[in-house]
């Protein structure tokens, strides 16, 4: 397969690395077993394990903490920072926790699938109440430890059900290939965003989806595509649905930013369109960003099945997968969320706080991109203006990202993805000047 853009190449390269790692790991284990058999073993059963590189996103938090540069700027992990660049706890969350402190009478296990109130609330938020009611009986849901936990459980469920192949947009969130690789699914990529034209490669995406065999799982970012911020239009969602239906593909939505792109309704357009169409699909949902519950690991997985009978059986299989992984989910995050969703004054407080985060994201993107466009003499940054969500996909190369870190204490993942909430009026000039320095001056 030929890959035109460097980015597509990078992601294909990442898949190759995964495949190679798997092959090497089994080779190493075989030769090690042989040694053990021959009596060559002395020290450890784990000697064949190699030192792996740090996580490309999460490791930056700890590196940033140690950074000595007084002007340092954190544009790395997708965590919302307020105007003072603090990682805050939402007021509605604090109020909910205060109430829970008095109300909670035990810390007993939740059911294997989690808190039923939380699952229902999340379902209604995601699909809207009317559609959630329509899906009743055909939809199964489970609380999960964050969006990653939801993706993992969904992936294992698919693999267990006999669906082996999954494709991701190129590029995608760095953790997607890892998660589904661990589910032992075969991963590949479909064209999504070109770093040559800095735009969506929609025709190529559609053409590629048309070539996929039946039963292939297609990972779709529900909104605020991570890392590009480049989303599908309503018409494009319709076109993707037509191909998915015609070719018997299985959509798997990753929804981690509902409300942070445009609003709670528009950001769910794709998910709801597909759910209404009657096809079978999976959604992984995260409250990390939208309720700021990052470390509380609060999410959910939903599977829509073709009939009540299929759903009934499927639910028991999903439960077994959960039981075999972490038994039942952690309680606190789901309890916080369901208390908020069942107290109108707190729900309204949350909606106001969510809108405020969305506005700050939009304002910071505008500030950053206008300053960058004005300052740049060679590189054209107009493409990052009308993107959605927390991230700006700048197009910076790995070496430039490394220079920003070493020379300026500015941190972002190697992909050149910028979390715009790491910016404010005070540091935006510093960041823009540094970017111009590493991209336009020798
Ligand atoms: C991100 O993309 O930065 C976040 O979703 C955090 C993570 O787990 O990678």
Ligand 1 center to residue 77 CA distance, Å?
Answer: 5
Q: Which of 146, 148, 152, 175 to mutate to test the pocket of ligand 1 (most atoms within 8 A of CB)?
A: 175
Q: Does residue 170 contact residue 189 with C-beta atoms inside 8 Å? A: yes
From CA 61, how far away is CA 126, in angstroms rounded?
30
- For the chain, how far is it from start to end, CA to CA, in angstroms? 35
For the CA of 148, the nearest atom of ligand 1: 8
In short, whether 253's Cβ falls inside 6 Å of ligand 1 is no
For the CA of 78, the nearest atom of ligand 1: 3
For the CA of 256, the nearest atom of ligand 1: 5
In short, whether 173's Cβ falls inside 6 Å of ligand 1 is yes
DSSP per residue over 66-107, as a string?
Answer: H---TT-EE--SS----TTS--PPPHHHHHHHHHHHHH----
For residue 397, which of 4, 63, 5 has the smallest C-alpha distance? 5
In this structure, are strands 299-304 and 139-144 parallel, antiparallel, or unpaired? antiparallel
| pTM of the predicted structure, to 2 decimals | 0.91
In short, whether 224's Cβ falls inside 6 Å of ligand 1 is no
For residue 149, which of 121, 113, 122, 123 has the smallest C-alpha distance? 113
From CA 15, how far away is CA 8, in angstroms rounded?
11
Q: Which of 54, 58, 294, 418 to mutate to test the pocket of ligand 1 (most atoms within 8 A of CB)?
A: 58
Q: Which residues of 285-322 are buried (b: 16+ CB within 10 A; e: fewer)?
A: bbbbbbbbbbebbbbbbbbbbeeeeebeebbeebbebb
Residue nearest to atom 8 of ligand 1 (CA): 58
- Measured between alpha carbons, how far is residue 396 from residues 63, 168, 434, 435, 440 in Å? 20, 22, 12, 8, 11
Q: Does residue 318 contact residue 113 with C-beta atoms inside 8 Å? A: yes
Residue nearest to atom 1 of ligand 1 (CA): 78
In short, whether 59's Cβ falls inside 6 Å of ligand 1 is no
In short, whether 263's Cβ falls inside 6 Å of ligand 1 is no
* Positions marked catalytic: 173, 254, 289
In short, whether 77's Cβ falls inside 6 Å of ligand 1 is yes
Please report, in tens digits, the pLDDT of each residue of the chain (442 residues total). Answer: 334 444 444 555 556 666 676 777 777 777 777 776 776 656 788 988 999 999 999 999 999 999 999 999 999 999 999 999 999 999 999 999 999 999 999 999 999 999 999 999 999 999 999 999 999 999 999 999 999 999 999 999 999 999 999 999 999 999 999 999 999 999 999 999 998 899 999 999 999 999 999 999 999 999 999 999 999 999 999 999 999 999 999 999 999 999 999 999 999 999 999 999 999 999 999 999 999 999 999 999 999 999 999 999 999 999 999 999 999 999 999 999 999 999 999 999 999 999 999 999 999 999 999 999 999 999 999 999 989 999 999 999 999 999 999 999 999 999 999 999 999 999 999 999 999 999 998 6
Q: Does residue 277 contact residue 245 with C-beta atoms inside 8 Å? A: yes
Q: Does residue 422 contact residue 81 with C-beta atoms inside 8 Å? A: yes
Q: Which of 63, 75, 77 to mutate to test the pocket of ligand 1 (most atoms within 8 A of CB)?
A: 77
For the CA of 294, the nearest atom of ligand 1: 6
For residue 338, which of 100, 141, 91 has the smallest C-alpha distance? 100
For residue 254, which of 205, 288, 277 has the smallest C-alpha distance? 288
């Amino acid at each position: 397969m030929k890959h035109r853009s460097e980015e597509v190449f990078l992601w294909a390269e990442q898949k190759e690395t995964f495949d190679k790692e798997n092959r090497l790991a089994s080779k190493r284990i075989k030769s090690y077993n042989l040694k053990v058999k021959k009596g060559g073993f002395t020290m450890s059963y784990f000697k064949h394990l190699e030192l792996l590189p740090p996580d490309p996103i999460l490791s930056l938090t700890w590196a940033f903490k140690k950074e000595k540069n007084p002007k340092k700027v954190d544009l790395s992990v997708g965590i919302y920072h307020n105007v003072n660049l603090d990682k805050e706890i939402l007021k509605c969350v604090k109020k909910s926790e205060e109430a829970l402190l008095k109300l909670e009478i035990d810390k007993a296990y939740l059911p294997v699938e989690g808190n039923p109130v939380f699952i229902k609330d999340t379902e209604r938020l995601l699909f809207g109440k009317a559609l959630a009611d329509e899906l009743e009986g055909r939809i199964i849901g489970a609380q999960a430890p964050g969006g990653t936990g939801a993706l993992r459980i969904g992936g294992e469920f698919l693999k267990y059900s006999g669906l082996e192949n999954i494709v991701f947009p190129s590029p995608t969130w760095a953790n997607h290939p890892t998660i589904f690789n661990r589910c032992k699914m075969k991963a590949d990529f479909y064209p999504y965003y070109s770093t040559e034209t800095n735009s969506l490669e929609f025709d190529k995406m559609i053409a590629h989806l048309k070539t996929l065999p039946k039963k292939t799982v297609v990972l779709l970012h529900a909104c605020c595509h991570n890392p590009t911020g480049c989303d599908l239009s309503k018409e494009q969602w319709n076109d993707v649905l037509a191909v998915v239906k015609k070719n018997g593909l299985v959509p798997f939505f990753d929804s981690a930013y509902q409300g942070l792109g445009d609003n709670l309704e528009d950001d769910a357009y794709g998910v709801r369109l597909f759910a209404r169409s009657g096809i079978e699909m999976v959604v992984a949902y995260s409250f990390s960003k939208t309720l700021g519950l990052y470390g509380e690991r609060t999410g959910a997985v939903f599977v829509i099945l073709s009939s009540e009978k299929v759903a009934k059986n499927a639910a028991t299989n999903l439960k077994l997968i959960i039981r075999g992984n972490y038994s039942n989910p952690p309680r606190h995050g789901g309890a916080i969320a369901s208390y908020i969703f069942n107290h109108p004054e707190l729900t309204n407080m949350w909606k106001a706080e969510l809108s405020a985060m969305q506005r700050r994201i939009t304002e910071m993107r505008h500030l950053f991109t206008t300053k960058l466009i004005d300052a740049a003499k060679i590189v054209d940054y107009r493409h990052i203006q009308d993107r959605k969500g927390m991230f700006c996909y700048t197009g910076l190369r790995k070496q430039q990202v490394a220079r920003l870190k070493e020379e300026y204490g500015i941190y972002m993942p190697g992909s050149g993805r910028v979390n715009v909430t790491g910016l404010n009026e005070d540091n935006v000039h510093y960041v823009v000047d540094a970017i111009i320095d590493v991209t336009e001056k020798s």
